[in-house]
Amino acid sequence: MISKEDIIKRFVSYVTVDTESDPASDTTPSTAKQWDLANALVDELKTIGMQDVTIDKHAYIMATLPSNVDHDVPTIGFISHFDTTPDFTGANVKPQIIDVYDGKDIVLNADENIVLSPDYFEDLLQYKGQTIITTDGTTLLGADDKAGITEIISAMEYLIANPQIKHGTIRVGFTPDEEIGRGAHKFDVEKFGADWAYTMDGSQIGELEYENFNAAGAVVKVKGKIVHPGYAKGKMVNSMYIATEFINSLPRLETPEHTEGYQGFFHLYSISGEVEETVLEYIIRDHDLGHFEARKEMMQKLTDELNNQYEREVVTIEIKDQYFNMKEKVEPVMHIVDIAEEAMKQLDIKPLIKAIRGGTDGSQLSYMGLPCPNIFAGGHNFHGRYEYVPVESMIKATEVICKIAEISAEQNK
């Protein structure tokens, strides 16, 4: 059996190390503090008996669990990231362990009246009677994706301790900077040497995903002209008003707060402006490649129309693709999804096969030649003070890893 106490101890030891990444940095990893956990993970992998444990100059960690069967079995991989998002502080995390959750409000911080309530977060009620780890309300938790690392290392330790469970060669990989979109940028797929892999980076128990958004970022700059407001008639051009025209010309209901499932969106996530210049920063998302391209074209067309309206270049736009839907790369090898689905079914977990409304390292790795679906890690409410993870979900994810390894060996006898 997977030890509940060991899972909790391991997870807490990881989340109490600050590994927040920084999008403004041009180094890899983007913050020096990510090395603290990375080096500790290397030591731990060696301690539990993993082979070929390496860490490169960019803090990418790889290790091997050798095959214990005498026939050819595909090499499979499991991957998670150790950085946490810069969206909310990950410093001085103080996990709270709620034993036998009673289905009622959880007071995270009495002094600041911060409450994790099932009235708002209905998913909590799925875990009544289980052990839940929360924050103290002042930080994120870091289950994204230290739960995944906990599960991978715990699974490797379990397989090493139980050689009667047959498996082929297993590779594990831990990456920095996933939260700022760079987790796979310097991942050496050839060195990793797996036929396929799984990121343990999903949310609630049962999630199994092989579709994600096509993604782009757009920076819109609007130029104005500043003169004394008392003498501005016919002279001043207020960039903020033109920027407002741009914002209001995009479909108002095609934004994150109005979309779900396979619906794409435009998301204005940053705005800074003065009379002379306003800068809008957007992300563009859609699962359908045709719709994705149409969204980018819409923004370019709007830019052109405003420039024609003002009879000069008042608006410029720079659009950069970020990642693409991994479905195109995974569908030709759908047996790798089938194996994960079968593993869940054998463990009495209901598979929740759905599209990711986001992206993972797996989307980029799939386009780098390593097909890489995503499996639940168990956490909820990522990137904020209300993040939590049920311990039983982490145990189940650990069991899924072991079962995938076992099924892969069995199918290739």
Q: Is 178 a catalytic residue?
A: yes
pTM for the predicted model, two decimal places = 0.90
Residue 361 among known ligand-binding residues: no
Separation of alpha carbons 413 and 411, rounded Å: 6
- β-sheet bridge partners, residue 265: 285
- Check if the beta carbon of residue 134 is closer than 8 Å to that of residue 379: no
Q: Using the 8-state DSSP alphabet, how is residue 225 labeled?
A: B
**Token couple for 24:** 């403004």
Query: Of 18, 20, 44, 178, which is the active-site residue?
Result: 178
pLDDT at 384 over 90: yes
> Residue 413's pLDDT band (boundaries 50, 70, 90)?
low
pLDDT at 167 over 80: yes
- β-sheet bridge partners, residue 92: none
Angle at 355 between CA 351 and CA 357, to 5 degrees: 125
Question: DSSP labels for 314-348?
Answer: -EEEEEEEEE--THHHHGGGTHHHHHHHHHHHHTT
Q: Which fold has domain 214-323?
A: Alpha-Beta Plaits (3.30.70)
CA–centroid distance for 180 within its chain: 9
Separation of alpha carbons 413 and 409, rounded Å: 7
Nearest residue to 23 (alpha-carbon basis) of 274, 281, 254: 281
| Residue 361, pLDDT score | 87
Q: Which CATH number among 3.40.50.720, 3.30.70.270, 3.40.630.10, 3.20.20.70 corresponds to the domain 4-211+325-411? A: 3.40.630.10
Residue 305 among known ligand-binding residues: no
Query: Of 20, 44, 83, 177, which is the active-site residue?
Result: 83
State pLDDT tens for residues 115-149.
999 999 999 999 999 999 999 999 999 999 999 99
State pLDDT tens for residues 366-379.
999 999 999 999 99
Separation of alpha carbons 44 and 65, rounded Å: 14
Residue 81 among known ligand-binding residues: yes
State pLDDT tens for residues 187-227.
999 999 999 999 999 999 999 999 999 999 999 999 999 99
Domain ranges across the chain? 4-211+325-411, 214-323
Residue 293 among known ligand-binding residues: no
Q: What residue type is 387 in one-letter code?
A: E
Mean pLDDT within 1-30:
96
Residue 399 among known ligand-binding residues: no
Q: Using the 8-state DSSP alphabet, how is residue 219 labeled?
A: E
Give the C-alpha distances (Å, rounded to integers) separating 310 from 203, 221, 223, 242, 251: 47, 15, 11, 10, 22
Angle at 175 between CA 173 and CA 178, to 5 degrees: 135
| Residue 359, pLDDT score | 80
